[in-house]
Amino acid sequence: MSKSEIRRLDNLIATAARKLEGVQKRETWALPAGEQARMAGHVAVLVAKATRLKDSPRAKRGIDEIWGNAEARLRAEIGAAQTAKAEILHQEAKAKTAKKASGWW
**54: three-class secondary structure by DSSP:** coil
Q: What does the domain layout of the chain look like in residue ranges?
A: 2-86
pLDDT of residue 101: 81
Question: What pLDDT, in 10s, does the model give residues 15-57?
Answer: 999 999 999 999 999 999 999 999 999 999 999 998 998 999 9
CA dist., res. 85 & res. 42, Å (int): 38
CA dist., res. 85 & res. 9, Å (int): 6
Neighbours of 72 (CB within 10 A): 11
Question: What pLDDT, in 10s, does the model give residues 80-92?
Answer: 999 999 999 999 9
Question: What pLDDT, in 10s, does the model give residues 1-23?
Answer: 578 999 999 999 999 999 999 99
Question: What pLDDT, in 10s, does the model give residues 62-72?
Answer: 999 999 999 99
pTM of the model: 0.84
Burial of 51 (0-12, 13-18, 19+ CB in 10 A): exposed
Q: What is the dihedral of CA 81, 85, 86, 89, to 10 degrees?
A: 180
